[in-house]
Structure 1
Amino acid sequence: MDDNNRVRDPPPADMRINLAPMVQPVEVNERNILMGLTRAQEVDDESEFSYVEDSENGPANWGKIKPEWKMCNSGTMQSPIDILKERVEVVSHLGRLHRDYKPSNATLINRGHDMMLRWEGGAGSIHINGTKYQLKQAHWHSPSEHTLNDKRFDMEVHLVHESMDNKTAVLGIMYKIGRPDSFLSVIKQELEALVDTPNVERAVGIIDPKLIKFGSRKYYRYIGSLTVPPCTQNIIWTILRKVRTVTRKQVKLIRAAVHDASETNARPIQPINKRSVELYRPRNHEEN
């Protein structure tokens, strides 16, 4: 649906995305991969899969590499997805994204297939469906993993959050080539340092996550999975509708700092099956 469509009243309860019963606690092995709790474990795990199509450890075979990764092949709520305009329901009942981010010490980590920025202290939170999710880390994919109407963009950042009961919510922002991204400009020197050194971690001092700009109140919401093994499901996905900009040099820098053999790190689009995708749009059309 486009902006000319009228915002509808909240749908009946049985048609809405019911987050609470669908989201299950995150398992310990997932947290080790997702949050970078153990560097050696991360390096070992991340090197066991690749993004090379038709290879033995490529995306089509992730579910065969380890028994605990079987969801990558058998799951019916996998991510990323193609967000098709004609399948999206415009709603206002989801409410605005309330983020309460704050500056905190952070570490850049080369996870073997991407760069991750992990906040070491309390970097704030977002509120979803009445639950507070603490910001843990951000990492980058190029090209974008999610697509809009079959269009893939040049980069996507994932902001990973975790609740007190170990539920996970990921906020995704897509980028196209254009003006520099201000946040990557802030950590440019640290990324360049990782290009020139074999170190996999680098303390970067205090980083303010608010520098990751949203630019719009509109967002898509659906239930999916991690986009890397073990592909755990019941992840709350929030994808900002606004596509922001990044330069080609910034995208190349993110890839160069990883030191892997691949030029991309985006999982192929997964079947949406019978899942619903909602687009939150404020009732006040003067809002972005």
Structure 2
Amino acid sequence: MHIGFRIWSLLLLLIILHPILIYAQEVEDEREFDYIKGSRKGPLKWGELHKEWHACNNGKMQSPIDLSNKRVDIIHKSNKLARSYKPCIAIIANRGHDIAVHWEGNAGSIEINGTVFSLIQAHWHSPSEHTINGRRYSLELHMVHKTTDPTSKHKIAVIGVLYKIGKPNPFLTKLIPNITSLVKDDKEHRHPGVIDPIEIQMSCRRYYKYIGSLTVPPCTEGVVWTISKKVRTVSLDQVKLLRDAVHDHAQKNSRPLQPNRHRDIQLIGP
């Protein structure tokens, strides 16, 4: 009886937590929302579409924000962002509102304040969602990490990399054949095999850091944001391909800037 009761209690707990576990991560079904200004499913309406998305309209620590010199505290540290990535089998998915790389095994992790966050996926927004001193860039990559550490206050960590128009981006260059086939064949997934996340070049020496949210529904807060200070380059053709691959309403798939609300923003580096 005692064992049976414990099993029943565990099942009940999982049933209660199920919606929480689902809505703590990004929504995959792009039909649920869009980026069109004034649309009934646009960014200003996200918080009204589902009760689980209320943070999109009512949250106090939403992303993206402007990383302004006036608000940034400069922290002089010589230690780099601790990354430990490894090659892993991945799929490339057209989620309608963006193109994403999903790693299907252990692709490595980052360590932030003693907590290890495992790499789950990466995706692109065009134009950039975050701005630096009001300047918006041509592209922004988000590397999404999660932790199962029960002692961690924050469960999601995202690394952001900004890009301006210039030389082609080497990482995207390797993915072009698969992304192109998503466009031509109107497919939702491609299986390119092993993808090494370390090939996503970024600066580990100087970076912005603040606490915000997911930039798509359900706009979950408590996300640890790390934005690389060094702006990389991407070709105009590569940006165009990423825009052509998604649905028309998401060709510009950037959420508007959110209020800063006097949050601490740090610029960490030597």
Q: Could you say which residue in structure 2 is the equivalent of 1:171?
A: 159
Task: Verify the 8 A CA contact 2:208 2:228 in the aligned structure 1.
Answer: yes
Larger Rg: 2
SS in 2 for 1:187: helix
Q: Does 1:75 align with 2:59?
A: yes
Q: CA deviation at 1:93?
A: 5.1
Change (3 A) 1:259 1:82: same
1:107 equivalenced with 2:100 (yes/no): no
2:261 equivalent in structure 1: 273
Cα distance, 1:206 vs structure 2: 0.3
Instruction: Return the alpha-carbon distance in structure 2 between the equivalents of residues 162 and 252 of structure 1.
Output: 30
Moved more, 250-259 or 174-183: 250-259
What letter is aligned with 1:29? I
CA contact (8 A) 1:51 1:262 kept: yes
Unaligned runs of 5+ residues in structure 2 are 1-18
Using the size of structure 1 for normalisation, the TM-score is: 0.83
Cα distance in 1 for residues equivalent to 2:206 and 2:20: 31
1:60-119 alpha-carbon deviations (Å, 9 max, x no partner): 111011111110000010000000011101103594201111100000111110011000
Question: Does 1:248 find its partner at 2:241?
Answer: no
**Residue type of the alignment partner of 1:27:** I
Q: Give the corresponding residue for 1:29.
A: 22
RMSD value, Cα? 1.6
- The separation in 2 between residues aligned to 1:187 and 1:216, in whole angstroms, is 23
Question: Is contact 1:95–1:280 with CA below 8 Å preserved after alignment?
Answer: no
Q: 1:109 to 1:31 in 2, by over 3 A?
A: farther
The separation in 2 between residues aligned to 1:63 and 1:259, in whole angstroms, is 22
Aligned to 1:184, the other structure's residue is in SS state helix
Measured at CA, do residues 219 and 128 of structure 1 come closer, stay the same or move farther in structure 2, by a change above 3 Å? same
Number of equivalent positions? 248
Equivalent residue, structure 2, for 1:198: 186
Could you say if the C-alpha distance between residues 206 and 31 of structure 1 is closer, same or farther in structure 2, counting changes exceeding 3 Å?
A: farther
- Give the C-alpha shift of residue 220 in structure 1: 0.3
| Residue 32 (structure 1) shift | 5.4
Check if 1:259 corresponds to 2:243: no
Matching residue's letter, 2:132: L
Identity of aligned residues (%): 49
Question: Does residue 1:229 correspond to 2:217, yes or no?
Answer: yes
TM-score, length-normalised on structure 2? 0.88
Q: Is residue 84 of structure 2 the alignment partner of residue 96 of structure 1?
A: no
Give the distance between the partners of 2:213 and 2:249, measured in 1 at CA.
Answer: 25
Tell me if 1:137 matches 2:125: no
